């Protein structure tokens, strides 16, 4: 993976995301979302794939984000 493959969001978008993130009650989730904020769509896809692998390792059902589910 090259850093040139990624596109970065304007600071205004990240700031707007940040205000939404602060409303999350779960501290661990808030930390994860802060870390992911501003990543490219490709990087977000990799995170979703990894999250599904972790869900499977804990015996949970995978989530399907390919159909636009959020």
DSSP assignment of the chain, as one string? --GGG-----HHHHHHHHHHHTT-S-HHHHHHHHHHTT--HHHHHHHHHHHHHHHHHTTPPPP--TTS--
Each residue's pLDDT tens digit, 16-29 = 556 777 888 888 88
- Is this model's pTM higher than 0.75 or not? no
What pLDDT is stored for residue 33 in this prediction? Answer: 83
pLDDT at 7: 56
Phi, psi torsion values for 27, nearest 5 degrees: -60, -40
> Per-residue pLDDT for 6 more than 70?
no
């Amino acid at each position: 993976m090259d850093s040139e493959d990624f596109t970065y969001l304007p600071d205004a978008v990240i700031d707007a995301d940040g205000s939404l993130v602060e409303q999350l009650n779960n501290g661990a989730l808030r930390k994860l979302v802060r870390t992911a904020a501003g990543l490219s769509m490709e990087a977000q896809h990799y995170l979703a794939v990894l999250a599904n692998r972790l869900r499977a390792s804990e015996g949970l059902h995978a989530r399907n984000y390919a159909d636009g589910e959020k």
